Amino acid sequence: MIEILKETARYLVCVKPIGIAAQGTQAEAMPQLLSEQLGCDIFPVHRLDQTVGGIMVYAKTVQEAARLTQAMGQGQMQKTYLAVLTGCPAEKAGTLEDLLFHDRVKNKTYVVKRMRGGVKQAKLHYEILARQDGLSLVRIRLETGRTHQIRVHMAHIGHPLLGDMVYGAGKPEKGLEGQCLHARTLKFIHPRTGEHMELTSPLPEYFTAVLARLGPPLDNQ
C-alpha cells in the first residue's frame, strides 16, 4: 500500500518506497500501483531515482499532469532532500554547480568541463545539519533536476552518499537498501487554485537508524 499524504480530484502527493520505479508502464511501477490502489488513471509529474524513496506528486488527468509539470519546470515547486555523506564538506553550507552528462547506455552521470551535446547545467544548495563518526547529515535543495544529480555533485567534491554503489565506495553498506538519500519535503503553490502547500515525507527505518549514529533527532528537519 502506497502512503498518500494528500489527495484531491486532480492530483495526489504520496511517498515512493525505495526500489520502485517512479515512472513506466510495468506492473510494479508507481503509476500502475497507484492506479490499482485508487481506481483511477495516474500520470507522472516528475522523476525520482528508483533507488531513492520519498515525496512525489502524481496527476489524475493529462491536463493536470501538464500543468504541474510546467510548474515544476519553472521552479514553482521546491523539493528538499536529506542525505548522509561519507566525510564532511569543508563549508557548513554552500552551492554546487557543475556541467553534467548522462550516459544512457551506462546509466551513469559524469561531471564534464565543457558544454556540448547532451550536457546540462546542474545546481544545488546544501546545509550540514550534523556530523559525527566520519559521516555528515545534509539538507539539499535542488535548483535543477538532473539524473543522479545529488549523488554526482557530492561524489565530485569527495563526499559520496553513504551506501552509493555507483558513485561511492562500490560496496554495500550494512542495513541500507541503497544510498542514504530521501526526498523529504515539497513546497508549492498550485498553479490553478493558488493553494499553498508544504508536505513532509516520513523517514524510512533504515534512515532513522543511520541518524541515530549522528545524534540529533530529525523531527524538526
- Residue 97, beta-bridge partner list: 123
Report how far apart the first and last C-alpha atoms of the chain are (Å, whole number): 26
CA distance 154 to 168: 9
Catalytic residue among 41, 49, 98, 164: 49
Buried-state track 56-67, b at ≥16 Cβ within 10 A, e below 16:
bbbbbeeebbeb
Catalytic (active site) residue 41: no
CA distance 56 to 70: 15
CA distance 23 to 205: 24
Residue 128: strand, helix, or coil: strand
CA distance 42 to 210: 34
The residue assigned the cell 547545467 is 121
Going by C-beta distance under 8 Å and a sequence separation of 6 or more, which residues neighbour residue 126?
89, 93, 94, 95, 96, 138, 139, 140, 141
Active-site residues, by number, are: 49
